[in-house]
């Protein structure tokens, strides 16, 4: 039995209909694993869930990032919205932590590149991220509350 299949048995016992599973630090003692091993098990489940030939019963998602992430399972419309929001937050954090500071530093060191750097910061920060947020927030279909 693979790690992800063992984790699925745990999910079936803890949250058979989906819902909050908890942070990996709280899941670890129940599984009899370290938090690092639990993170690897969760990652194995995510890999299985994302496979073209997935057989997972649940769809995992998280709220928050890194060690403070709270894990959930579910397939409701609210879960779809939450997955979209998580993706948006991941992209936004990546931009704010890496791309923007790097471009700001290039602009400070190379005045000839400053206009290009500023244009990219505006295009991504005010343009692309706004469009991405609208995409994950703005799709509203009938029956969107299931």
Question: How many whole angstroms separate alpha carbon 46 and alpha carbon 30?
Answer: 19
pLDDT band at 67 (very low <50, low <70, confident <90, very high): confident
Tokens 């670890």, located at residue: 28
Residue 33 lies in domain: 3-73
For residues 49 and 99, state if they share a domain: no
Q: What is the CA radius of gyration of the chain?
A: 19
135/94 Cα distance (integer angstroms): 18
Place of tokens 């709280």: 26
What lies within 8 Å, CB to CB, of 117 at 6+ separation is 103, 104, 106, 107
Q: What is the pLDDT of residue 144?
A: 54
Q: Is residue 42 part of a domain?
A: yes
Q: What is the pTM of this model?
A: 0.68
Q: Among 3, 51, 66, which Cα is nearest to 31's?
A: 3
133 with 82, same domain?
A: yes
What is the pLDDT averaged over residues 23-37? 91
- Asked, for residue 143, whether it belongs to a domain, the answer is no
Q: Which of 53, 73, 93 represents a domain boundary (last residue)?
A: 73
Of 73, 98, 119, at which residue does a domain stop? 73
The whole-number pLDDT of residue 142 equals 57
Q: Which of 39, 54, 73 is at the close of a domain?
A: 73
- Give the pLDDT band of residue 78 (cuts 50, 70, 90): confident
Evaluate if residue 75 carries a pLDDT over 80.
no
Average pLDDT over residues 42-51: 94
Average pLDDT over residues 124-143: 76
What is the mean pLDDT of the segment spanning 48-74?
89
Q: H helices within 1-146, ranges in order? A: 3-14, 24-31, 35-50, 77-94, 100-109, 111-122, 129-138
- Considering the domain architecture, whether residues 16 and 37 belong to the same structural domain is answered as yes
CA distances from 66 to 70, 74, 77, 94, 145 (A): 9, 20, 24, 13, 29
The total number of structural domains in the chain stands at 2
Are both 38 and 14 inside the same structural domain? yes
């Amino acid at each position: 039995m693979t790690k992800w299949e063992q984790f699925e048995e745990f999910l079936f016992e803890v949250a058979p209909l989906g819902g909050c599973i908890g942070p990996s630090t709280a899941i670890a003692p129940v599984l009899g694993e370290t938090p690092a091993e639990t993170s690897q098990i969760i990652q194995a489940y995510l890999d299985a869930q994302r496979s073209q030939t997935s057989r997972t019963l649940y769809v995992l998602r998280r709220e928050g990032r890194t060690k403070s992430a709270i894990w959930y399972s579910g397939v409701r419309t609210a879960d779809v919205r939450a997955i979209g929001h998580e993706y948006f937050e991941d992209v936004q954090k990546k931009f704010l932590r890496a791309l923007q500071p790097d471009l700001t530093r290039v602009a400070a060191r190379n005045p000839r590149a400053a206009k290009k750097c500023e244009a990219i910061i505006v295009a991504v920060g005010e343009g692309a991220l706004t469009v991405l947020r609208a995409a994950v927030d703005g799709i509203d279909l009938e029956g969107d509350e299931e």
